[in-house]
């Protein structure tokens, strides 16, 4: 909360009139248009107006500069105001005007119940054409293979401490992916295994003479296998890192406040790549079967990595935190006593509660010393777990200015921008129109289980004809409405009277029939 107030104050001070123009990435060219078959990109929905005239107050200027919704929603100014209404929480979906998202993808979103000033989620759905660079394999390009590749792209970005990082990632991450794939076009089009080493530029040392190699070749007993799939995974990982580095460079000049979780899907050459950095999730529902395509990255699930980093680099803890994990917070009166602890917490696969219940984990007694009174690096369990008592996610983009409350200690060294990428081969199965990939921000999964999502998929899709393209939008809306609940008893309640999600909720429903069946 304190960081959010600081960000808002800084934004108000720096906003002197009309909002600054959106920055162009210094290291990215203008977006390459998709092939003629792809629908042209519409302009992003304009920012919501809080007033009119040149004398608008600073708060109105800030609202216009910071609030926007995904392009494909095609919201009018009135629609933007309804989308920004915390009381009504109207569900937003693309208009049913015949111009649909690729693959007839369904999408729906709803704003939070007052958690933040605006909806800090963002979404992107694009068809991206990748034009290959000059031949990188040292031989003339085969003209029969074409000059480029096309990939389909979906992205959900769950912002926190401001919407700037999510908005920037929704505009630029797919361009970074495209740039990383440019050098791979020729290799991916070649069915033979990828080369382990590409020829260097002619005229450079070692381009044709192998005598510069040191040591005998026989030391390499086996050759590591490289697949086209691993190259695409590497390109996506590099794109996430470059996106995060760009946010670091531009965070001051362009007010890229906060950070965001990122859940991205890339369809390329028959395979679906699901990249996740954060606590959003994706599942495939295929013939009633649930196939997880991601996992959450939180202080609870990454406790081992965080504690190991704190052990290896204690300077990152600033003398304020300890990487050690005790059953509970150590009290000053317990100095000199011996308390149970896990000597190597990064080697455990379960949380403290879990491994204590199982009776495993290499526990030992330790004499309590003064440094053991420091606050634990990872505190809490489940959704209440926090890194340095501040943030509840451990992977994502941005957060370069995030510091411990009432301290100057940065948290970014403990946060990773690298996603976990899982691959699903569409060509290995014959999918029916009811097989879908569901992407959702944590606003959906906090109150909805995988089984409940699968049941909603079956219930909604069975009510529509298989060739009705609007069925996937209806499914996305049903999932959002089911997680939001209805207003009752001064809150949003689910049918079982439990609290509904008060967070921003964004959902993509992608039919797995692919571009051939659902274009």
Q: List pLDDT tens digits, range 285-308.
A: 999 999 999 999 999 999 889 999
Ranking 52-66, 87-101, 153-167, 175-189 by mean pLDDT, the lowest is 52-66
Residue 349 binned pLDDT confidence (cut-offs 50, 70, 90): very low
In a domain, 405, yes or no: no
**% of the chain with per-residue pLDDT over 70:** 74
In a domain, 289, yes or no: yes
Tokens 């209805």, residue located: 486
Give the best-scoring range by mean pLDDT among 56-60, 326-330, 419-423.
419-423
Same domain, 275 and 338: no
Same domain, 259 and 276: yes
pLDDT greater than 90 at residue 345: no
Instruction: Give residue 45's pLDDT.
Output: 54
In a domain, 307, yes or no: yes
Total domains in the chain come to 2
Find out whether 132 and 110 touch, Cβ atoms under 8 Å.
no
Residues 6 or more apart whose CB falls under 8 angstroms from that of 138 comprise 198, 199
Same domain, 320 and 187: no
In a domain, 213, yes or no: no
Instruction: Give residue 519's pLDDT.
Output: 38
Residue ranges making up the domain that contains 85: 71-134+146-192+227-297+417-511
Same domain, 447 and 501: yes
The CATH number of whichever domain residue 505 belongs to comes to 3.60.40.10
pLDDT greater than 50 at residue 24: no
Same domain, 321 and 426: no
In a domain, 205, yes or no: no
Higher pLDDT, 212 or 77: 77
Residue 30 binned pLDDT confidence (cut-offs 50, 70, 90): very low
Coil/strand/helix, residue 187: helix
Cα distances from 38 to residues 29, 47, 273, in angstroms, run: 20, 26, 21
Same domain, 287 and 306: no
Ranking 114-123, 379-388, 509-518 by mean pLDDT, the lowest is 509-518
Same domain, 275 and 325: no
CA distance 106 to 285: 15
The pLDDT of 404-422, averaged and rounded, is: 95
* Digit-coded pLDDT (tens) for 147-172: 799 999 999 999 999 999 999 999 99
Instruction: Give residue 191's pLDDT.
Output: 86
What is the rounded average pLDDT for all residues in the chain?
A: 81
Ranking 107-116, 216-225, 375-384, 386-395 by mean pLDDT, the lowest is 216-225
Residue 181 binned pLDDT confidence (cut-offs 50, 70, 90): very high
Q: Which of 108, 102, 74, 61 is nearest to 476 (CA)?
A: 108
Ranking 134-143, 172-181, 442-451 by mean pLDDT, the lowest is 134-143
pLDDT greater than 50 at residue 342: yes
In a domain, 447, yes or no: yes
Instruction: Give residue 466's pLDDT.
Output: 92
Same domain, 245 and 381: no
The pLDDT of 435-446, averaged and rounded, is: 97
Instruction: Give residue 196's pLDDT.
Output: 76
Same domain, 385 and 462: no
The secondary element (H helix, E strand) that includes residue 506 is strand 505-511
In a domain, 56, yes or no: no
Same domain, 329 and 472: no
CA distance 185 to 9: 46
Instruction: Give residue 442's pLDDT.
Output: 96
Q: Which of 428, 389, 383, 384 is nearest to 405 (CA)?
A: 389
In a domain, 426, yes or no: yes
* Digit-coded pLDDT (tens) for 251-281: 876 667 899 999 999 999 999 999 999 999 9
Burial class (CB within 10 angstroms; exposed 0-12, middle 13-18, buried 19+) of 451: exposed
Instruction: Give residue 340's pLDDT.
Output: 75
pLDDT greater than 80 at residue 459: yes
Instruction: Give residue 100's pLDDT.
Output: 87
CA distance 481 to 477: 6
Instruction: Look up the pTM and report it.
Output: 0.81
The pLDDT of 457-470, averaged and rounded, is: 94
pLDDT greater than 80 at residue 385: yes
Higher pLDDT, 190 or 362: 190
Both tokens of 178, joined, read 């495209």
Instruction: Give residue 327's pLDDT.
Output: 77
Same domain, 247 and 262: yes
What does the DSSP assignment read for 265-312?
EEEETTEEEEEEESS-EEEEEETTEEEE------TTTTHHHHHHHHHH
Same domain, 241 and 287: yes
Ranking 73-82, 319-328, 427-436, 463-472 by mean pLDDT, the lowest is 319-328
Residue 73 binned pLDDT confidence (cut-offs 50, 70, 90): very high
Higher pLDDT, 240 or 519: 240
Give the best-scoring range by mean pLDDT among 33-37, 358-362, 372-376, 497-501.
497-501
Q: Which of 378, 245, 400 is nearest to 321 (CA)?
A: 378
């Amino acid at each position: 909360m304190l960081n959010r107030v600081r960000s808002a104050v800084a934004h108000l001070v720096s906003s002197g009139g009309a909002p600054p123009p959106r920055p162009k990435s210094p290291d990215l060219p203008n977006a390459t248009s998709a092939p003629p078959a792809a629908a042209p990109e519409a302009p992003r929905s304009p920012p919501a107006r809080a007033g009119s005239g040149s004398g608008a107050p600073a708060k109105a200027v800030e609202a216009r500069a910071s609030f926007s919704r995904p392009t494909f929603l095609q919201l009018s100014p009135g629609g933007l105001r309804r989308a920004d209404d915390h009381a009504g929480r109207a569900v937003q979906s693309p208009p049913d005007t015949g111009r649909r998202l690729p693959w007839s993808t369904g999408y729906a979103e709803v704003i939070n119940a007052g958690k933040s000033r605006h909806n800090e989620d963002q979404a992107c759905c694009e068809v991206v054409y990748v034009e290959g660079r000059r031949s990188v394999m040292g031989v003339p390009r085969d003209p029969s293979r074409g000059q480029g590749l096309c990939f389909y792209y979906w992205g959900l970005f769950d912002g926190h401490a401001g919407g700037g990082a999510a908005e920037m990632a929704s505009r630029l991450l797919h361009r970074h992916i495209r740039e990383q794939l440019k050098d791979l076009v020729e290799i991916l089009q070649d069915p033979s295994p990828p080369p382990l080493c590409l020829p260097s530029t002619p005229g450079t040392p070692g381009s044709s003479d192998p005598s510069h190699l040191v040591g005998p070749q026989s030391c390499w007993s086996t050759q590591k296998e490289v697949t086209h799939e691993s190259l695409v995974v590497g390109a996506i990982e590099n794109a996430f890192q470059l996106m995060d580095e760009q946010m670091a460079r531009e965070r001051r000049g362009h007010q890229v406040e906060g950070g965001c979780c990122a859940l991205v899907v890339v369809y390329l050459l028959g395979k679906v790549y699901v990249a996740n950095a954060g606590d959003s999730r994706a599942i495939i529902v295929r013939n009633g079967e649930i196939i997880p395509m991601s996992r959450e990255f939180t202080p609870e699930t990454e406790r081992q990595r965080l504690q190991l980093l704190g052990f290896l680099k204690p300077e990152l803890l600033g003398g304020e935190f300890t990487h050690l994990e005790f059953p509970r917070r150590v009290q000053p009166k317990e100095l000199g006593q011996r308390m149970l602890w896990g000597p190597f917490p990064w080697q455990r696969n379960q949380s403290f509660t879990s491994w204590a219940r199982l009776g495993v984990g290499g526990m030992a007694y330790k004499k309590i010393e003064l440094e053991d009174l420091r606050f634990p690096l990872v505190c809490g369990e489940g959704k209440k777990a926090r890194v340095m008592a501040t943030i509840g996610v451990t992977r994502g983009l941005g957060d370069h200015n995030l510091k411990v409350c009432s301290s100057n200690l940065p948290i970014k060294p403990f946060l990773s921008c690298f996603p976990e990428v899982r691959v699903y081969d569409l060509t290995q199965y014959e999918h029916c129109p009811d097989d879908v990939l569901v992407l959702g921000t944590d606003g959906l999964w906090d109150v909805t289980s995988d089984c409940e999502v699968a049941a909603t998929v079956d219930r909604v899709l069975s009510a529509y004809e298989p060739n009705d393209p609007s069925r996937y939008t209806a499914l996305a809306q049903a999932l959002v409405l089911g997680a939001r609940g209805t207003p009752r008893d001064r809150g949003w309640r689910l049918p079982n009277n439990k609290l509904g999600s008060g967070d921003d909720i964004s959902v993509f429903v992608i039919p797995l029939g692919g571009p051939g069946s659902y274009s």
